[in-house]
């Protein structure tokens, strides 16, 4: 029987994940629409979303070394989110200048790069910090990670309600005529903050970044584990020895290929919804259907790992992506599109979190920050930029810039086919062991 999860640890890690994913939830689903509004084309949007993953290029070599050897993880998180919040405030200013002048795309690209370097390494770092302190990560990680889903959903809904406040107020007046004084008071309260603007998505994310930066002083202290022969060694280079295991190489290789295909979802689905007459202000709210589905997926994850084992659970996540992209590839009703979005829980949890648990099980305790950042480097730092660039090229090929000629069926058919091939390769090739290495760095 696993050790109980202490309350003082549970609430701290829960708040960490709520704010961590709340930041992403307030900007990611709205990002393609925001940049389209500011006259960027498909190729430029693909470049911006690709460069947004560049932070993972330096993560395993810089962040991993810092947090595994020199600086506590909670202090690094505080500094990174402070820099990220300041950068987010500058992005909408640069986007407005580009819309007016069509002449400073490089500045916008630079700001997104700086933010990527600050923010994206914090995702695997938050995972390694959680794994380090949880008594039983396999059964307990989902209990704190589920609050990341809560943060994403709330921030996405707040963004849509803020941007679409005129529609929301009109709906309230129509359906609750007896509450007119209360509705007027609510409208007066909103007017104090000025008129909503599309750039407010970045401002909301900046506020959450500053909140998380401040909250990091409440996180459990997570100093580097410098023991035995690990002292003085370069942690990221030690992690590379894990590639001697052929099955570890296979899992990383499959994850790399998946990370090339997955970005097409974030790139194209918001546009697909807009093409189906969903107002752009309400796209983030509709997309939260996917995040809400993470609740049952996270709750069922420990059971799936116990009953199905890691291989079948991972394959289930891949199968969900095949079904999702296949639905998007057909001219189906809005209900089926929402069902495809609602598969996000299985798609995300049973791929990303399962592979994070696998990596954590396969490495020594003093290398976990570096190992998680290595995985993030391979997937989000290398594969994901390639995926966004390919998504931009595919979007151009299938004319997603022109709603009247857009071919979403062809776009998603390519994704569904590639994902199905990867599922077959994984199922017949993977032989996964979850045997843990020695916890003593002096005796690897």
CA torsion, ordered 118, 124, 128, 130, to nearest 10 deg: 90
Using the predicted structure, report yes or no on whether residue 86 has a pLDDT greater than 90. yes
Give the mean model confidence (pLDDT) for residues 258-263: 89
- Tokens 């003085």, residue? 232
* φ, ψ dihedrals at 138, nearest 5°: -55, -40
CATH for 394: 1.20.1250.20
Say if 264 falls within a structural domain: yes
Total domains in the chain come to: 1
The pLDDT of residue 433: 54
Mapping DSSP onto H, E and C, the string for 250-308 reads: HHHHHHHHHHHHCHHHHHHHHHHHHHCCCCHHHHHHHHHHHHHCHHHHHHHHHHHHHHC
Burial class (CB in 10 A: 0-12, 13-18, 19+), 220: middle
The span from the first CA to the last CA of the chain, in angstroms, equals: 27
Rounded Cα distance between 205 and 3, Å, is 36
Using the predicted structure, report yes or no on whether residue 381 has a pLDDT greater than 90. no
The pLDDT of residue 190: 84
Give the mean model confidence (pLDDT) for residues 34-59: 74
The pLDDT of residue 67: 59
Rounded Cα distance between 189 and 357, Å, is 45
Domain encompassing residue 56: 7-222+234-429
The pLDDT of residue 1: 47
The pLDDT of residue 82: 96
Give the mean model confidence (pLDDT) for residues 186-209: 88
Rounded Cα distance between 164 and 159, Å, is 8
312-369 pLDDT, tens digit each = 999 999 999 999 999 998 877 888 999 999 998 898 888 887 887 888 777 777 676 6
Say if 332 falls within a structural domain: yes
The lowest-confidence range among 58-72, 258-272, 273-287, 362-376 is 58-72
The pLDDT of residue 235: 57
According to DSSP, residue 365 is labeled: G
Say if 57 falls within a structural domain: yes
Say if 1 falls within a structural domain: no
What does the angle CA 288 – CA 265 – CA 403 come to, to the nearest 5 degrees?
100
Confidence label for 443 from pLDDT (cuts 50, 70 and 90): very low
Q: Which residue has the higher pLDDT, 58 or 292?
A: 292
Using the predicted structure, report yes or no on whether residue 46 has a pLDDT greater than 50. yes
Say if 434 falls within a structural domain: no
Rounded Cα distance between 149 and 159, Å, is 15
- Give Cα 196 distance to the centre of its chain: 25
Using the predicted structure, report yes or no on whether residue 7 has a pLDDT greater than 50. yes
Using the predicted structure, report yes or no on whether residue 437 has a pLDDT greater than 80. no
Say if 345 falls within a structural domain: yes
Using the predicted structure, report yes or no on whether residue 219 has a pLDDT greater than 70. yes
Sign, CA torsion 185/186/191/195: negative
Rounded Cα distance between 333 and 400, Å, is 19
Give the mean model confidence (pLDDT) for residues 234-259: 80
The pLDDT of residue 444: 33
Say if 440 falls within a structural domain: no
Q: Which token pair is 327?
A: 């639905």
Using the predicted structure, report yes or no on whether residue 18 has a pLDDT greater than 80. yes
Q: Which residue has the higher pLDDT, 363 or 68?
A: 363
The pLDDT of residue 438: 42
What b/e readout covers 298-310, taking b as 16+ CB neighbours within 10 angstroms? bebbbebbeeeeb
Say if 227 falls within a structural domain: no
- Selection from 127, 125, 129 nearest residue 117 by Cα: 125
């Amino acid at each position: 029987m696993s050790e109980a999860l202490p309350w003082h640890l549970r609430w701290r890690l829960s708040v960490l994940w709520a704010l961590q994913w709340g930041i992403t939830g307030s900007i990611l689903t709205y990002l393609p629409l925001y940049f389209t509004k500011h006259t960027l084309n498909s190729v430029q949007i693909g470049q911006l979303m690709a460069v947004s993953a560049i932070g993972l290029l330096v993560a395993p070599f810089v962040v991993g070394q810092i947090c595994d050897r020199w600086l506590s993880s909670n202090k690094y998180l505080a500094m990174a989110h402070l820099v990220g919040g300041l950068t987010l405030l500058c992005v909408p200013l640069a986007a407005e200048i580009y819309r007016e002048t069509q002449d400073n795309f490089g500045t916008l690209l630079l700001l997104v790069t700086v933010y990527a370097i600050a923010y994206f390494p914090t995702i695997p770092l938050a995972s390694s910090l959680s794994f380090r302190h949880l008594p039983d990560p396999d059964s307990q990680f989902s209990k704190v990670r589920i609050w990341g889903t809560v943060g994403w959903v709330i921030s996405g809904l707040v963004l849509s309600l803020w941007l679409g406040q005129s529609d929301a107020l009109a709906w309230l007046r129509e359906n609750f005529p007896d509450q007119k004084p209360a509705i007027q008071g609510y409208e007066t309260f909103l007017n104090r903050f000025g008129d909503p603007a599309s750039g407010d998505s970045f401002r909301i994310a900046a506020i959450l970044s500053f909140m998380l930066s401040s909250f990091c002083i409440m996180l459990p202290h997570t100093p580097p584990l410098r023991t035995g022969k690990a002292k003085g060694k370069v942690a990221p280079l030690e992690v590379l020895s894990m590639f001697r295991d052929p099955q570890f190489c296979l899992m990383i290789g499959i994850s790399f290929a998946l990370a090339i295909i997955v970005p097409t979802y974030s790139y194209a689905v918001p546009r697909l919804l807009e093409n189906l007459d969903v107002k752009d202000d309400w796209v983030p709210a509709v997309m939260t259907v996917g995040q809400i589905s993470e609740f049952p997926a996270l709750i069922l994850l420990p059971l799936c790992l116990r009953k199905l084992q890691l291989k079948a659970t991972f394959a289930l996540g891949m199968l969900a992506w095949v079904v999702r992209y296949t639905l998007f590839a057909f001219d189906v009703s809005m209900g089926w599109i929402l069902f495809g979005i609602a598969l996000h829980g299985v798609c995300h949890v049973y791929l990303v979190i399962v592979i994070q648990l696998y990596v954590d099980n396969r490495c020594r305790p003093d290398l976990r920050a570096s190992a998680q950042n290595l995985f993030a480097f391979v997937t989000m730092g290398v594969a994901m930029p390639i995926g966004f660039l390919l998504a931009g090229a595919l979007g151009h090929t299938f004319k997603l810039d022109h709603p009247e000629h857009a071919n979403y069926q062809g776009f998603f058919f390519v994704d569904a086919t590639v994902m199905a091939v990867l599922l077959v390769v994984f199922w017949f090739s993977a032989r996964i062991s979850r045997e843990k290495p020695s916890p003593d760095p002096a005796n690897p």
